[in-house]
């Protein structure tokens, strides 16, 4: 379903081109995918823990970048966990299309207080560095 488009310069919505949409990341939903990522590569940062694994060619998901997010109750109540996950989702949306690799699964695990309170630009930098570390081992 397309969101409504406002008319531009007196033109109707049917003649206006829709805005560019960013690369869509597939979201991990099955517990088995999270468990497989937990057994693979890890890279800690001040704001979160990144778990990454390369999928085998016969696994579902093809060459898409898949990402999952998790925050345990240690992060805080539901409000704090949801805020932390929203920040992680936005960071992944901005960074993974450029720095992630096709055919990989990534899981971002939130940390108590740090994920929700860290400056967002620093959080983005943490994700870029963590991806470089994880992929630097892949030679």
pTM (two decimals): 0.80
Domains (ranges, CATH) in the chain?
A: 25-136 (3.30.230.10)
For residues 100 and 110, give the distance between their C-alpha atoms in angstroms, rounded to a whole number.
19
Tens-digit pLDDT profile for residues 59-114: 877 788 999 999 999 999 999 999 999 999 999 999 999 999 999 999 999 999 89
Task: Give the residue carrying structure tokens 């993974």.
Answer: 96
């Amino acid at each position: 379903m397309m969101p409504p488009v406002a008319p531009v310069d007196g033109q109707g919505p049917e003649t206006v081109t829709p805005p560019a949409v960013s690369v869509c990341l597939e979201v991990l939903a099955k517990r088995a995918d999270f468990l497989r990522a937990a057994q693979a590569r890890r890279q800690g940062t001040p704001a979160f823990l990144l778990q990454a694994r390369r999928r085998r060619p016969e696994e579902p998901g093809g060459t898409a970048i898949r990402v999952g997010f998790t925050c345990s109750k240690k992060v805080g109540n539901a409000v704090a966990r949801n805020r932390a996950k929203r920040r992680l989702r936005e960071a992944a949306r901005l960074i993974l299309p450029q720095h992630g690799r096709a055919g990989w699964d990534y899981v971002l695990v939130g940390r108590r207080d740090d994920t929700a309170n860290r400056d967002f630009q620093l959080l983005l930098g943490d994700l870029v560095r963590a991806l470089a570390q994880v992929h630097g081992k892949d030679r």
